Amino acid sequence: MVEYIRGKVAELTPTYVVIEAGGVGYGINITLPCFTSLEGASEAKLLIHEVIREDAWVYFGFLEESERVLFRLLLGVSGVGSNTARMILSSLPTMELEQVIITGDVKRLKSVKGIGAKTAERIIVDLKDKIKPGDSTLLQQQVSKSEDFDEALAAMVMLGFPRQAAHKVLTKLYNANPTLKVEDAIKKALTMM
């Protein structure tokens, strides 16, 4: 499974980016907010959600973990496919979509192209309990997604700790001190596990 791809931005359109990494060009589907962030960038690191079909391997790329988490939650809703989930995330920024789901704003969700009343209601019903205001595992934009954070998380997982538990502990540490070095983060995390 591909976790992320980092490399040179070889081609960029509002829905698609080609990232060249290790001499291979990876075609990755993206959302409009991702496109806006990548404009003018020569290099990028995208978190990947991989869809393997009979006829193709399709990659969806995200700059923030919270956007990828929401994408995956949307895929779990009956009747919502990967292109519909991408359309929703292109139309509503992550924080706004979370608010729409939490408050049950069917009208706002229906304003997204291709989303009818039944699908909007199903999304809200299915995801309302999974998205809570202030949820530190979902609202991860407050976490500095630095290379140090990623490296510390990878080290904790390699040491045998569950990814979700390690992520939660490291999130607390990096929210308190975003400039924390990898070694110090791992040492502190080990005492908290």
Domains of the chain: 4-62 (2.40.50.140), 66-127 (1.10.150.20), 143-192 (1.10.8.10)
- Residues pairing with 17 in the sheet: 12, 28
Sequential DSSP letters for 131-151: --TT-TTT-GGGS---HHHHH
CB 185 within 8 A of CB 166: no
Per-residue pLDDT of the chain (193 residues; tens, 9 = 90+): 889 999 999 999 999 999 999 999 999 999 999 999 999 899 999 999 999 889 989 999 999 888 998 999 999 999 899 999 999 999 988 888 888 898 889 999 999 988 999 999 999 999 988 876 555 444 443 344 467 787 888 888 888 888 888 888 888 887 777 778 888 888 888 888 7
* pLDDT value for 43: 94
* pLDDT value for 119: 93
* pLDDT value for 159: 86
User: Of 92, 50, 49, 88, which Cα lies nearest the Cα of 69?
Assistant: 49
**Residue that is written with structure tokens 């393997």 in the block:** 52
Helix axes 94-103, 82-91, angle to 10 degrees: 100
pTM beyond cutoff 0.95? no
* pLDDT value for 95: 84
